[in-house]
Structure 1
């Protein structure tokens, strides 16, 4: 029944298989077995598309009601027990997920043994949109807001961003003394983070200073920008957590340390419902506390220019 619902809602056997972590062949067999047992065609298939039949639409409504009843009863049992349970599906940025979130998930799993967590890593675009129902997502962690009036957004922590470069690049191109100097430097641009990724905004003694930079290398992955900066391709504006080890090792050094980049919030976004699912709220609360305790939040000592 769940295979059928996923196929009907996504319009694809492949998408349903991805959501459930099963093979496409098994999803197809599930639907065929249902059709054989009911004696009706639920999905009309063609070489290019598929559609839900009239009988399939009626059965789809029945299946969804069954699942709502199951979830409601499970939530009642869970509330009585006081512990969240079931599957929690989380989508997070690749760099943050690769470097740090896996540690958070392990720690979360230890304190929530009745929850199963599925972590997906994917770069989320600025002001993007995600179909939570189609992809089976419970929570999206990201650095920018999402479109959708039926979504709830919570700040779970502020993350420092820093401007860095390799000593080899600064020896070759010179060290910028003020933000305006960056206009003459090769800059490594993080895509899909702000409305205009090539405008870097600094906070200094005389207030906010926006600078239009010249991109020499572009990526929507902070880890790629980190590698480019260490290789001496230019000056990068990246989250501190991506480069904290490279700063400690001297592979990268801070640029314009007297000027500050405003911290950017890490957001938790989830669908708006009459009551926030217990598993979602527990995860958001845990992440807020975990972020606050991490060393990558704290600035490193800055050498004098």
Structure 2
């Protein structure tokens, strides 16, 4: 039986695409192909919690903390109180980290991004490691991918990364972060364009990067479609009276730069200059950058922007 160690940054009920991707991999490999899959992750739910104690976290005893769809989840608390320099020294004291030959600048950047789960490393150093065939991690540029590299050296097994490399965002090209990428044995790119950037700009060996495109899980939609109330009309409920025939632009996902939410916000005033009969509907967890950009839009016209978050909208997969 093949045995895999998965180390995602977060796990369900965290609800971004990378979490669903790893959840589906874990469930499909364990149920259909009889792989032994073990999942180790942080206790963060939202992005803020990766480095801020004010962020949303799942606590021991809560639903989904220890098990999701019959898969055991090993969650570890994030250390917020230690300084970056203290955290760096902790990692440098690990002999397997030193085999990676990374610069202090890269180590510091990954630590600052979080989640710094020192207790996960302690777990593997204090317990005899299982004999895994592979370690698979996501997502760049967060600290858990460094943990995967350290454990790969410690266990003598390949470390694979699916980075979701958002090359349009300048911070992803920062050398203090990209230095970590060539250390992986394999990298999974979602598109040929992503692979081209990784090979040509980041100088990763072509043979190390494998393109595996994303897909659509039709079962999720099929299951939900049977429960749809066809008498419910979204525009009738949320659009202004007399404007229910207006067009609608719908965005679903994290309201961040990488997903395009902020680019849509910036485009809205220009669209309204030539065509006003349109609503913009955003569904998903907010970000500070999104809220900041939204506040710049004329308050009078902002009534045609509908902004739904987990706090004011039910119907997420965890309901």
> RCO higher in 1 or 2 (8 Å CA, sep ≥ 6)?
1
TM-score by length of 1: 0.22
Higher strand share: 1
For the pair shown, the structure with the greater C-alpha radius of gyration is 1
Higher helix share: 1
